[in-house]
Amino acid sequence: MQMISVNGAELSSMDLGRDKGSAVVMLHGLVSGNMASWYSSVATPLSGERRVVLYDQRGHGGSSIPGSGFDLDSQAADLQAVIAHHGLSGQPVDLVGHSMGALVALRFALRHPRQLRRLVLVDAPMPARDYVAPSLLGVTSPAALADYVENHLVGLTGRRRERLHQRLSALFFGSTLMRDVLAMASEPDAELAALDRPVLLVYGRRSPCLAAGQHLLRTLPRAQLELLDCGHYVIEESPAALRALVDRFLSVDGAPALGIAA
Amino acid sequence: MSKHYDDILSLVIGKIRSTINEDWIQDFEIEGETRFNTDLEIESIEFVKIADAIQAHYGTQLDIVGWLSGKSIHELIGLSVGELASFIAGAVPEQG
């Protein structure tokens, strides 16, 4: 476990399979996500064949909860700092992101295509202002947050529930998270159409975000879409099928796509 | 139980206390039967940190990542402290 200083935050990160060749960085989803989301079900199996870097995005897991910087450009800059910290800046890496983590990975890919080999977007909710913001919009007061915790965190009890409640309170009332998510529009079609990298889109058949996957499939030039029998929380609901898809996609032989770029 | 197991159980308990690093855990009586989920109520990210700290302690002697690999985080959280210590005791050679 290592701490990485980025713009206004400290990010917790870990590195699995360090001596292996190609590298993949995995990004988790918003609020309840952290390195543990990917860790045992997908990241450790993948690390048998490749180097896997995990990190807690700002405001999550063991990372600090800064007051700002939850917009996609800031979070893509965090990702760049994580890649640099692990000594991977000179080589194209694979990126795998779920939900908000997928949107961060996609923004990074559009800004730094030469740093990217392959991209996996798992149930990317693009645009987040339509898919993510509505579930957060009603949380405008501590009482509303208590209701949100009651209704959305049904499986959590005791200490874990209290800790997540505290985290949400800091994120919702002490940071720009809500405002930043509300400002997250779709990536422009022209930029998506110019991303000359292989992209695997994995969506849950019952996910409310499925239309976003279909749009990305139509717009990204080298994308393929795989549907799994689940909803939005693909990592928890279909871990084995997701692991197999990601492993196969990242294991495709051939030179990194860097040489193909214009 | 052997001294080998007891030593490892003590080490695991120490890693739990130092990773959680809150006042209550320092006084909490942790035994082999103590469960990460129902007794300690640890978060999944805390389990990952504990596993990472144990891996760092043993280095190449232990492949905790390989053992956890493919299990769900809920399955791991469901373990008892003693079950984790038993795996380590079986994987790490006894000190002479």
B23-43 mean pLDDT: 94
Is A47 close to B65, i.e. CB distance below 8 A?
A: yes
Nearest to A91 by CA among A139, A25, A148: A25
Residue A211 domain flag:
yes
- Closest CB from B41, B49, B65 relative to A16: B65
Nearest to B52 by CA among A44, A81, A84: A44
Residue A148 domain flag:
no
Is A44 close to B66, i.e. CB distance below 8 A?
A: yes
Residue A234 domain flag:
yes
Residue A254 confidence (pLDDT): 45
Residue B47 domain flag:
yes
Residue B60 confidence (pLDDT): 84
Chain B hits for A16, CB-CB cut-off 8 Å, are 65
Residue B96 confidence (pLDDT): 56
Chain B hits for A159, CB-CB cut-off 8 Å, are 41-42
| Contact by Cβ (8 Å): A8, B29 | no
The backbone torsions φ and ψ at residue A30, rounded to the nearest 5 degrees and listed phi first, read -80, 150
Residue A253 has pLDDT above 70, yes or no: no
Residue B96 domain flag:
no
Residue A144 domain flag:
no
- Taking CA atoms, what residue in B is nearest to A34? B45
User: Which residue segment(s) compose the domain that A219 sits in?
Assistant: 2-132+185-253
Residue A173 domain flag:
no
Domain count, chain A: 1
Count Cβ neighbours within 10 Å for each residue of A113-124 and write b for 16 or more, e otherwise: bebbbbbbbbbb
When mean pLDDT is compared across A105-114, A153-162, A222-231, the lowest value belongs to: A153-162
Domain count, chain B: 1
Q: Would an 8 Å CB–CB cutoff place A36 in contact with chain B?
A: yes
Chain B hits for A32, CB-CB cut-off 8 Å, are none
Residue A248 confidence (pLDDT): 95
User: Which residue segment(s) compose the domain that B10 sits in?
Assistant: 3-91
Q: What is the ipTM of this complex?
A: 0.87
Residue A7 has pLDDT above 70, yes or no: yes
Residue A199 has pLDDT above 50, yes or no: yes
Q: Would an 8 Å CB–CB cutoff place A90 in contact with chain B?
A: no
Residue A260 domain flag:
no
Whichever domain contains A117, its CATH number is 3.40.50.1820
Whichever domain contains B39, its CATH number is 1.10.1200
Residue A224 has pLDDT above 90, yes or no: yes
Nearest to A73 by CA among A180, A201, A208: A180
**Residue A148 to residues A69, B25, B54: CA-CA distances in angstroms?**
24, 29, 36
